[in-house]
Structure 1
Amino acid sequence: MTTLAKSTPWKANWIWGGSEESPRNQWRWFRTSFICPQDLGMLEKAILWITADSRYEAYINGKRVGRGPVRYFPTDIFYDAHEVGHLLRRGEINTIAVGVMHFGVSNFQYLRERGGLLAQLDAFVGNNEMTLVHTGTDWRTSVHAGQDPAISRMSCQLAFAERIDGRKLAEDWTLSAYSDEQWEQATVIGPAGVEPWVRLVPRDIPYLTEEPVLPTRVISLARVVPYQLTAFIDTYHLMKAPGEENANRIFFCGAFATILRLEAETEVKITLHVSGLDVVRLGDRLYTAAELEVEAPLKHIRAQLPAGDHLLLYTVYGPEHGQSNRIGVDGDTGITWRSPFGAEEDGEPMSPFVRIGPSFTYTSIDYIDQDDLFASWEAEKVRFAESIDPLTSLSDVLAAGYPVEGVPHSLANGEDAFMPQFAKRESEVFSVPASLQRLAIASTDPGVVPVFEGGDTEFILDFGKEWSGFLEFELEAEAGVIIDWYGIEYRKDTYVQHTFGLDNTLRYVTREGTQRYESPVRRGFRYLIVTVRGATKPVLIRDVRFVQSNYPAPEIGAFKSSDYKLNQIWDISKHTTKLCMEDTFVDCPAYEQAFWVGDSRNEALVNYYTFGGTEIVERCLRLVPGSEFQTPLYGDQVPSAWTSVIPNWTFFWIVACREYAEHTGNRVFAADMLPKMLLTLEAYLERLNTDDLLDMKGWNLLDWAPMDQPNDGIVTHQNLMLVKALQETAAIAELAGMPLKGAVCIEMAVRLKTAINRHLWSEERGAYLDCIHRGGRRSSIFSMQTQVMALLVGVAEGDRAALLSEYLTATPEGFVPIGSPFMSFFYYETLMKSGHVQWMLDDMRENFGFMLDNDATTCWEMYGHTTMNRANANDLTRSHCHAWSAAPGYFLGAYVLGVRPAAPGWTKVIIEPNIGDLSWAKGTVPLPQGGCIDVTWKADNGQMVSLIVTAPEHAELDIRVPESCAVSIRRVSQLLE
């Protein structure tokens, strides 16, 4: 690991600027210049120690040296150590420049505190350490001149989309020659250790990669005309009780309204992308939800309206989680919208919208009983609709006593690049000229974007496969041209799957001439839709690239076999896992980028076999107990401001802790984590009922499938996983040398196992029922998911186990089938326990093969042909890159190559290939202490005939093959570091 810990006290102070402690979506620049001493002698190194709230990009003399920090809980913020000695100019003026993105809102990877920057540059000469510069009042700061903070959230999980005005952007602000005399003096917040960042923690993983990726082709060109009016409205912020410190769901009753002004009579079309939409009033007409045209998730209204002003009002109820609502208006004559309250209020620019209400709102916490609040909300929805329906003007609304307030421009405006992507009145397709196709080849000539009369120019870049990182481009244009960059994951023929729920856009306004922009906002996509708006002459694009950024794990793992489709499946599993390894494992690089705790257990196992990374796994596992201040049940995604609990995710975390401790042989880790595991288990065991069953409220999830897993009651798979968690805690106690602490867990596991078999088994169906609902009603639904977990955990024994084992390859009629690749991981584990390798291979070919048949380069969140209720048949899944789905990356190495650990730290290794219907296979499995094991085997007529194993000298091999198989073992020496 290349990161460092600071061994001497900090001299730097936390600094910020402006009048607000935590401004919404503010990008702020910081600079200082200094003369680097000429006589530094034998300079060994110079370290820039740095961290910021929320994220930073640091530069030395115009050269970017790093991004950070890694995600953190505010009380324990991580700092970075960048070696920058090679960038310093001795005897000359040097400049440190830092761009800080402060979110100002909480999300699923950040808990809101105040903005701040802490930095210190130390030089090391021999045994002497010299501080050259540190943050304080001598630093200058300015709000980023070209960034518009009045933009929509990317998603409820992320911060904000991006709008940059190149006319205001100073590209040279990181250089010493730039003058910052007009910038303000930075304000000192306090020394290192000041609240809220009371503990500074050295970065615990290496820095992420930065690997340029170029597009492979331009695949379409079109002239497009968007709706006349489009806008976003930040409903979550406007309807929520004051405060951005949490990101929990809200339930509310409210409405939004605006005035449409028509120049002449025309047919008006209104498109709404609104959660909780119930009724819409347009002029004198009231539309119920049933009367709206539905093109899910969009809803449309068409109405012939005369010239003049018309009220547009629609209700919204939630639940809302932070995504922005959107509206588009179009017609054949001029249409404008306006607020009845004016364009400015107390000096603040206002949007055309007003907010009505909310008449009722509450913040939901999923694992706490809030049934009374929910019932009140349901009743208020009915009352609110009945009372608002007859009101035909804002005067009527005010007279009825509803609060009506103007919506600030910062929370709703037409500077929205996402709605125009699908709110189009015209789209005319053209062939792609060679001059534009140059964008996708290494040519010194620029790509030429043609200009269309009476419309904008849209083209789509294909980057060949999905990627995760940062967008960069260089172009030449006239001033004032709007260029929208919009990343998507999937298209087929002429169909585009828009990222509803994710505003994956960057809007850039050009200045005159050549310009370059490097986005600091992480995003994921395969295709990039580029729309050039308002150009009168061709835009010349000289460079478009995507900087792929992920955890720097070497691509050691390999798998090849006689089945080309299985090879492709393994490849996309590996690529998916790579893209979902950031500063933690993340569920996906596009929609969320969130560290979901349960997902990471499976992702860690796939990583062990494809990359061999261990530091990222330990970092993830150690982060989880940091959510204890929110709940002792631990959060299902961390660090996050959504206080949400999926009990199984905590149980999977316990499993992952044991697997990591054994994978690495790290007994110190086992001892560190044991008390944290016992703490959360105690909280869960307090929720056992008198029958010794876990009976609780929570997000009681296992699979995206129509199984019976209510959010309150006795859920069978959850009780099964609690047994597993208790068993695994006992195992880690043994590894930590504290077996007595594990003995209590074993006792509780036996009690719970007995209770499950007594109360949750159905003799009539020969299976475990899915749940017992709150109040005692036994579920009539039986699922394969529940049976799989009963077998996997070992709760089903004897005749019951034998019966359930038959179901693995012959699902009983009426049983809910496996619904997602995530659940398939546990299904495959159970198949391997039962020796059904051929069944597993066939399942992979069918389900993952369907992805390949639909041009997948990464594994989907869902299979696409199973249980998802899709409004559009072309939307085969939401996320097209989800590492919880990458099971083949593990199972093909662990069971087809047959390489598995037999002792902590892989000091003993099992080699037990399963050939199925394959004639050969070969591959590489990384080892946690370095090195790898290579396996090559061949089979003939279903019998293994030869096996070649290459392994380090220190690894004891347990080779399990037929006696007739020719075995060759090659040993390599291990280099000790």
Structure 2
Amino acid sequence: MTTHDWTASWIWGGGESSPRNEWRCFRKQFECPADFAGQAQVRLCADSRYVLYVNGMRVGRGPVRSWPHEQFYDTYEIGHLLRPGAVNTLAILVLHFGVANFYYIRGRGGLLAEVAAGDVALAATDGEWRTRPLAGFSRAAPRMSCQQGFSEIIDAREEDGDWSGEGYDDSAWERAVVIGPVGTAPWTKLVPRDIPYLTEEKLYPAAILEVNRVETPAFMAAIDMRNQFVPESADHANPIRYCGYLATVLRLERAGTVTVGLPTGLPSGSFYVGGVAVKEWRGEQPEQYAELALPAGDHLLLLDATASNHGGSFHFGLDADAPFSLRSPLGELEAGAGTPFATYGPFDHVEYIDHQGARELSCDHADYLALAAVSSAAELEAYREWARPLDPGMYTEADVFGLSVWRTRVERKPVAPELVRAVLPVPEPAALPRFDVGDCELVIDLGKEQSGFIGFEIEAPAGTILDLYGVEYRRDDYTQHTYGLDNTLRYVCREGRQRYLSPVRRGLRYLIATVRSAAGGDPSADVSNNVSGNASGKREPVKLHEIYIHQSNYPVANQGTFRCSDPLLNDIWEISRHTTRLCMEDTFVDCPAYEQVFWVGDARNEALVNYYVFGATDIVKRCLNLVPGSSEMTPLYVDQVPSAWSSVIPNWTFFWVIACEEFIGHTGDRAFAQRIWPAVRHTLVHYLTHLDKDGLLNMKGWNLLDWAPIDQPNDGIVTHQNLFLVKALRKAAAIAEAAGLAHEAEEAGFAASSDSLAEAINGRLWDDTRRAYLDCIHPDGRRSDIFSMQTQVVAYLCEVAEGERRATIDGYLAAPPAEFVQIGSPFMSFFYYEALVRSGRHAQILADIRRNYGAMIEHEATTCWEMYPNFAENRANPKQLTRSHCHAWSAAPGYFLGASALGVNRKDAGWQTVEIAPQPSDLAWASGSVPLPQGGHIGVRWTRSDARMKLRVEHPREVSVNVVWPEGLEGELEEVVY
């Protein structure tokens, strides 16, 4: 079938075209002919994501991330699931975000699906399909992060049977609304999926590490301040800044001590109680807690919500030794509607496109300034024109993250031996401990970082709450909470035994599962009835039959291998391999937990590691093809795609050009070169318009290379990106040559531009006194007084430094000057290692890997960290070693141990000729294999004794192998051809 023969129409339901966080069910029953031959396909697509069921069996998930103007659809073979001569059921759950993020452009809710047996259409989406929102799902679930969609809150008591199965009665559901045929905006073009489907492997945890009795504050809520203050910000993912207030009235029944808890900290640093600012806060950053002695009665709580906000939730909690309630200062709660909060403002707001605001935020409005002194709800009436009730869709008291971070009491208990049944595939369940006061918390270790879909089977009384929270790092009594990521799930049980598999992807190493008793009534009860203290009453047994994760990644096998005489390097290679696999979804992603975003620059290094570890090429081609889709946003291409954040990192576009050339070289795919060349030419032509009168790239953007404190302002002349532009122009010329279009690169002047740019860099950005390239020239003409290893490495790597300057920098590579800014991330280390390879310093690569990655292994890492310990973003909390504990931009050893220690490198396009040049350094032996893009592998095993090396090389007969022996060693070769 082609995109021109669809019989289906796009459909939706309900009254909103793009509802915030709606999970909507669709069903269609259809007859399968009695003479059905056994072959049938379903094609489908949805905005934003779907889960497909056929006769109650889950078939697949999708679609892959897409630009709306080029929407991917999926095709599944389902003939084996159909019953000839009977009624069959197609059921589809659509998760519509309704909010733009870093991997989704906001469109509208929609489903397109059809089933065909050969040329016979059996079912197609139209106005006869039945639909309704998923029963028991709360649309008020918190945003996971600015990069992602939403966490989930499920109340299974509201379910009325298995809606995906064939016996379910959907006659009371509404009929779907037809949006339009294929080609309807925003999905103007449909294209078939261009990569294989992802894996789903059911993995059980390794252990239960802790059992705790925990008590939690009486009140906790998650609030979406961004979309409350600036509703139109749901249409984009650009950062915004606004000024305004959040207000509620605390009614204390008797005098007591009230604790205000802000698990993610204050937005602006100002919190007022009755017009008086709270000054004394405690807690490790970013958490902030304050104890207040208050008399009985009403107290106005006013939070200055002024902030820069990219998206996510604000968490607000209260606890007290006296009964209390909250009410809105507007009074709506008493009328039976609304939330206990109101907002005032925004008095001003600014949107930042590509890190630039149209103007400065103005927070000098007289009413804004005066509000800080307001002491009561009555006084707030004077500012009614600025007031808005907090939208219930932006608010939930089912704040699993807040309750997991702020626990008012924790009492550790022994882990009973029978609890192991909860993490093993055995038929007997584990009965969870019960406490007279407090909840039961299990800390579950998955054994290593994983990425996928959490599932469980539990037996419990109706109303029992199971809260799940995933984190990446724990050590001793320290848990690194996922500030900035609401990595949680709340499930409210129906009576009896039940199963649940979340459709929301999560990354985690540890799963914190808290069982909260059903006693005390409805967990969603109105906050006005809330009092301090935990619920009490009869507690029936809760049995956990199993808990697991459906690991889901791009389908790759471990074709690349590496082992050597140093066990530390073996462990480092393994965490590099595992990190890369976890960051391979429908694109490369930066990390499986915090973001799950395809960052264009990260993917260049990730692709190289993948070539050596897994050998996958379809995912690389898909990533490269997605980037030019952002040309409608900017001809400079955005740094993460497809994304609603208009953000340009020039280096990321340059890395994309470099990665295109490397893919062509790796695969020999000249057809790809021909297809991608126009997009490469398009963006570089536009970058060259940003050269100043002296021939240097001088522009506004996110001028990033490393997290280290190098001088890389978002405006002006930044040396490292001028250097990478030189390399990108040269690689572009190579792409044109591979495409047979060298004359077009010559017409665009890329070779001449790269030479003149290199000359300008050497003329203006070299400092003779410091014998180094400076980091930048600021917009006001001020030359940076900061010198960094980053800039020197890039100058060497991009071959702009020549002659004496190159020799000088070569010395810096060997012994980095202490006064230079040092490398701050494993991402930058990748380029450093590339430079060390060029300078022949292979032993130094191993030493650096052992030092920096060895620190990760020392801390029991199973994946590579985003940053080096206690650097930059980590300094606020010395226990936080890095933000993300699984970041594929950091997996450099997976590439360099194969390319350097094994010495396997291609010498021409498509790996027709391979050079084997082992670099033993201090190793006694090494063995491994590197997969080839055309299939097969290069196998290498060497041992070294004194001045002699024995080398075994295994390769396909179609591949020519040249061996280069290490300097000073005699060689004995065994060549095996297959």
TM-score calculated relative to the size of structure 2: 0.96
Structure 1 residue 440, shift from structure 2 partner: 2.4
Correspondence list, 1:620-659, <5 A? 620-659=623-662
Amino acid at match of 2:504: V
Contact 2:243 2:346 (C-alpha < 8 Å) held by counterparts: yes
Contact 2:327 2:334 (C-alpha < 8 Å) held by counterparts: no
Match of 1:11 in 2: 7
In 2: Cα distance, 1:886 partner to 1:265 partner: 57
Contact 1:232 1:414 (C-alpha < 8 Å) held by counterparts: yes
Correspondence list, 1:542-553, <5 A? 542-553=545-556
1:194 and 2:200 are equivalent in the alignment: no
Match of 2:591 in 1: 588
Q: 1:381 to 1:482 in 2, by over 3 A?
A: farther
Structure 1 residue 810, shift from structure 2 partner: 1.0
In 1: Cα distance, 2:958 partner to 2:255 partner: 84
Match of 2:501 in 1: 518
In 2: Cα distance, 1:402 partner to 1:257 partner: 15
Structure 1 residue 401, shift from structure 2 partner: 6.7
Match of 2:490 in 1: 507
Correspondence list, 1:405-804, <5 A? 405-535=388-518, 536-743=539-746, 744-804=749-809
Match of 2:85 in 1: 91
Secondary structure of 1:546's counterpart equals strand
Structure 1 residue 293, shift from structure 2 partner: 3.0
Match of 2:273 in 1: 282
Structure 1 residue 507, shift from structure 2 partner: 0.2
Structure 1 residue 387, shift from structure 2 partner: 2.8
In 2: Cα distance, 1:222 partner to 1:360 partner: 46
Structure 1 residue 964, shift from structure 2 partner: 2.4
Write out per-residue CA displacement over residues 369-415 of structure 1, whole angstroms, 9 at most, x where no aligned residue.
x3x612xx1x5269776433222234434425760111022112312
1:373 and 2:379 are equivalent in the alignment: no
In 1: Cα distance, 2:5 partner to 2:150 partner: 35
In 1: Cα distance, 2:396 partner to 2:246 partner: 13
Correspondence list, 1:839-918, <5 A? 839-918=844-923
Q: 1:305 to 1:453 in 2, by over 3 A?
A: same
Write out per-residue CA displacement over residues 933-958 of structure 1, whole angstroms, 9 at most, x where no aligned residue.
110011123x4511101101111112
Amino acid at match of 1:417: V
Write out per-residue CA displacement over residues 908-938 of structure 1, whole angstroms, 9 at most, x where no aligned residue.
1111111010000000100011111110011
Give 1:949's match in structure 2, choosing from 948, 953, 965: 953
Q: 1:869 to 1:471 in 2, by over 3 A?
A: closer
In 2: Cα distance, 1:385 partner to 1:947 partner: 75
Amino acid at match of 1:957: V
1:316 and 2:282 are equivalent in the alignment: no
Structure 1 residue 438, shift from structure 2 partner: 1.8
Amino acid at match of 2:338: M
Greater than 6 Å deviation, 4+ residue runs: 382-385
Correspondence list, 1:44-63, <5 A? 45-63=39-57
Match of 1:174 in 2: 164
Structure 1 residue 539, shift from structure 2 partner: 0.9
Give 1:354's match in structure 2, choosing from 308, 330, 342: 342
Which blocks of at least 5 consecutive residues in structure 1 are unaligned? 973-977
Write out per-residue CA displacement over residues 226-245 of structure 1, whole angstroms, 9 at most, x where no aligned residue.
11110111011012252522
Structure 1 residue 870, shift from structure 2 partner: 2.1
In 1: Cα distance, 2:126 partner to 2:706 partner: 51
Secondary structure of 2:559's counterpart equals coil
Secondary structure of 2:629's counterpart equals helix
Contact 1:937 1:946 (C-alpha < 8 Å) held by counterparts: yes
Secondary structure of 2:53's counterpart equals strand
In 2: Cα distance, 1:474 partner to 1:287 partner: 45
Q: Number of residue pairs matched?
A: 953
Matched-pair identity in %:
51
Give 1:130's match in structure 2, choosing from 120, 123, 127: 120
Amino acid at match of 2:92: V
Structure 1 residue 774, shift from structure 2 partner: 1.0
Q: 1:640 to 1:7 in 2, by over 3 A?
A: closer
In 2: Cα distance, 1:284 partner to 1:249 partner: 30
In 2: Cα distance, 1:172 partner to 1:397 partner: 49
1:20 and 2:16 are equivalent in the alignment: yes
Secondary structure of 1:293's counterpart equals coil
Structure 1 residue 192, shift from structure 2 partner: 1.1
Secondary structure of 2:389's counterpart equals strand
Q: 1:871 to 1:816 in 2, by over 3 A?
A: same
In 1: Cα distance, 2:21 partner to 2:186 partner: 19
In 2: Cα distance, 1:303 partner to 1:221 partner: 32
Q: 1:383 to 1:871 in 2, by over 3 A?
A: farther
* Bigger shift: residues 440-449 or 633-642: 440-449
Q: 1:381 to 1:415 in 2, by over 3 A?
A: farther
Contact 2:268 2:305 (C-alpha < 8 Å) held by counterparts: yes
In 2: Cα distance, 1:479 partner to 1:338 partner: 29
Match of 2:535 in 1: none
In 1: Cα distance, 2:833 partner to 2:903 partner: 14
Contact 1:275 1:320 (C-alpha < 8 Å) held by counterparts: no
Amino acid at match of 2:415: V
Secondary structure of 1:947's counterpart equals strand
Contact 1:100 1:117 (C-alpha < 8 Å) held by counterparts: yes
In 1: Cα distance, 2:503 partner to 2:62 partner: 11
Which blocks of at least 5 consecutive residues in structure 2 are unaligned? 519-538
Match of 1:37 in 2: 33
Write out per-residue CA displacement over residues 302-334 of structure 1, whole angstroms, 9 at most, x where no aligned residue.
210011110100112221001111111111111
Q: 1:423 to 1:894 in 2, by over 3 A?
A: same
Match of 1:975 in 2: none
In 1: Cα distance, 2:149 partner to 2:30 partner: 34
In 1: Cα distance, 2:976 partner to 2:501 partner: 49
Give 1:292's match in structure 2, choosing from 272, 281, 288: 281
Contact 2:613 2:930 (C-alpha < 8 Å) held by counterparts: yes
Write out per-residue CA displacement over residues 635-681 of structure 1, whole angstroms, 9 at most, x where no aligned residue.
10000001111110000000000000110000111111111111111
TM-score calculated relative to the size of structure 1: 0.96
Please report the RMSD computed on the Cα atoms of aligned residues, expressed in angstroms.
1.5
* Bigger shift: residues 691-700 or 233-242: 233-242
Amino acid at match of 1:18: G
